[in-house]
Structure 1
């Protein structure tokens, strides 16, 4: 029997469309069957089914026939799913990993609810598992991508990506919450079904649950997401590793946290921004080992809330008005080359925290907050920052630390009106025919106590030797005395930080 030529297949498509009095696009979109329209001599080339309603759409059928006859496809296969049915998925021999939300019944104009379309797209992505695993028990979806293709999609309920999958990506469009969206819901949750959040007052619960990682390498880029001041937040991750948020995202209209991370590790971020009258944290970290980089936060009650450990924040520009740029209650936190813009960084009970290379503008400060029954400040390094357009102290202490250990604050530059605060200071005092040299460091030291004193005395005149000593510091004041009156210059260096036994601090 003669094989059908490409021209005959095209002719058949046109005839079939004319017979049905429907355009090919309509037949394609609605997944209509052509078994009733196939000429007898071509029937053997088409996939057989016992139910005409289960037949594949025209584009898939013709592509499949052409591939069987000539060994190659006319069109690279890409599945298109109708809003009502995805039961022809088995016909797709090599389904594409790019899943447009509009192909699942989503309305890209934003007029109709597209929640079900997103859910169908997620369900369709999961069978794309390529047989490989990422981390233990996490299926590799091979880069399955849910694309919004520049559309605006309205949703009325939270979207959930189940645990156990990785290498999945969302991009290129807008998601807007409806007025009926649940007030306690996040727009998208990765790794969990509907469940209460962790207690955001502490990150210890997340660490104590001992739950393994659920998802890996999930990315969200080029998205505008508006919670319409109804949604609790935009993205919620539970025990996810290696996720990427950004670049070029704009998240607004949430009242709790723009991005919430519960457990997991190795996140990479970039970029949420503004509505007015904020009550929420733009980004809340409850997991370790994440990277927040090149982010602009345009007004939030708290720009970044970091309650875990070993997280790195680089290039974070937070313009929060009267809000807080960052709140750090964790440990081993690094804040590098960031820009608190008219708002401050608060570090609670600092523990191995580094803040360097920052630009603090318009009254922005570093606030060291003592919290709890025996608060300590340990391993804090603050240096090489610039403070401009302010008449405030560069660093301020709230409360009283019971101990300050291995800490250095200083070596920064200030504008004309700013008041530089440091943990280490040096002063020189010359007096004639005196027995006492009194130094007051209250105007420059961070806290009201001195841990270590070092001084030298240079006496005028040959052959003059006296006994001299420093007395214990009284707050931020230190006194040096001699047993007889002399003319001398005393250079006094004080440090507010203790050193651990045998410890060395080189800053």
Structure 2
């Protein structure tokens, strides 16, 4: 299906989709009943009644879909190997694209927005709807711009990947979310080379989540949201963050996390925002028998240090003090020696 424009009529069903790849509930409808004004609902027949999927190898390309603020754009239900390429989907009130069940829906080179804008829209705080709603596994969103919606991408299925996605749908300050991963306990999602523009990422109880090589502008941040206190196999590395010097942390926590393992937040850069990490380095100098390095300003999780490496350097005097790591509670590392000495202490810690 390619090359054309579909627009919903003024009495189009508010829960309908302009292109609906769902079970054959419209088979008995006449063409006149299906076609109303400039809107069109497409219902394709299964090529094999024995298939466990509704559709396979459907391609939607070079389409302009205007939902007229009634319903959504494209619905793909329990389908296999669907391609949505170079589509412009606007004025949806529910979902721009809904994928439910099935496998391997590939969305690429497309533009989605509830309201047509290039940013800075006066009505941004009132945006609603979701541009892309993935309720299935093994899908990919590549080189897609989402320019207005309350939520850019909502994912509640595993093994999805997002690359080259630019979200400026609704600013975090107005209650919007760029990418929302609603998969507590088994996330299995990769987000790479994307641009979160004044809107961030939310992940519930992330397990196997990778975010890298992405750019966060306008105090946009990553929020790890606790449902059952689980964070496992999370990698947030090599990203750039840019903010307005308001003290916003690049990675934040909501709620307590009690089951933490294999979480790496490191090698991110920030301008005008606060670095948060699971790996940190610090040093202290003084003439003392006790040295304390406080890592609370940097470490992501409270009261959690799993590994410590330190060195004590003293070049003055002839004494060789004995020294040891004494405490790591409350993210503060305490080193003590058996006698006072002028020394530099260098400490590296991690929470992985």
Same fold by TM-score, threshold 0.5 exceeded?
A: yes
Moved more, 317-326 or 459-468: 459-468
Contact 1:364–1:390 under 8 Å retained in 2: no
- Could you list the runs of 4 or more consecutive aligned residues of structure 1 that deviate by over 6 angstroms after TM superposition? none
SS of aligned partner of 2:137: coil
Change (3 A) 1:343 1:311: same
Contact 1:255–1:278 under 8 Å retained in 2: no
2:182 paired with 1:326:
no
2:40: which partner in 1? none
Alpha-carbon offset, residue 252 of structure 1: 1.4
2:57 paired with 1:235:
no
Alpha-carbon offset, residue 410 of structure 1: 1.7
TM-score with structure 1 setting the length: 0.58
1:386: which partner in 2? 240
Distance 2:329 2:194 in 1: 36
Which blocks of at least 5 consecutive residues in structure 1 are unaligned? 1-169, 196-210, 498-507
2:14 paired with 1:183:
yes
**Which of residues 309, 317, 337 in structure 1 aligns to 2:166?**
317
2:135 paired with 1:295:
no
Distance 1:239 1:273 in 2: 22
Q: Which has the larger radius of gyration?
A: 1
Distance 1:404 1:390 in 2: 31
Q: Render the CA deviation track for 1:457-500: whole Å, top value 9, x for unaligned.
A: 22334653333222332322221122221222211111122xxx
Q: Render the CA deviation track for 1:116-166: whole Å, top value 9, x for unaligned.
A: xxxxxxxxxxxxxxxxxxxxxxxxxxxxxxxxxxxxxxxxxxxxxxxxxxx
Distance 2:93 2:343 in 1: 64
Correspondence list, 1:43-58, <5 A: none
2:240 paired with 1:401:
no
Distance 1:310 1:485 in 2: 56
1:172: which partner in 2? 3
Which has a greater percent of helix?
Answer: 1
Which has a greater percent of strand?
Answer: 2
Which blocks of at least 5 consecutive residues in structure 2 are unaligned? 27-50, 116-122
**Which of residues 205, 211, 223 in structure 2 aligns to 1:355?**
211
Q: Provide the aligned C-alpha RMSD in A.
A: 1.8
Correspondence list, 1:4-403, <5 A: 170-194=1-25, 212-231=52-71, 233-247=72-86, 249-270=87-108, 271-274=110-113, 275=115, 277-322=126-171, 323-330=176-183, 331-371=187-227, 374-391=228-245, 392-403=248-259
SS of aligned partner of 1:230: coil
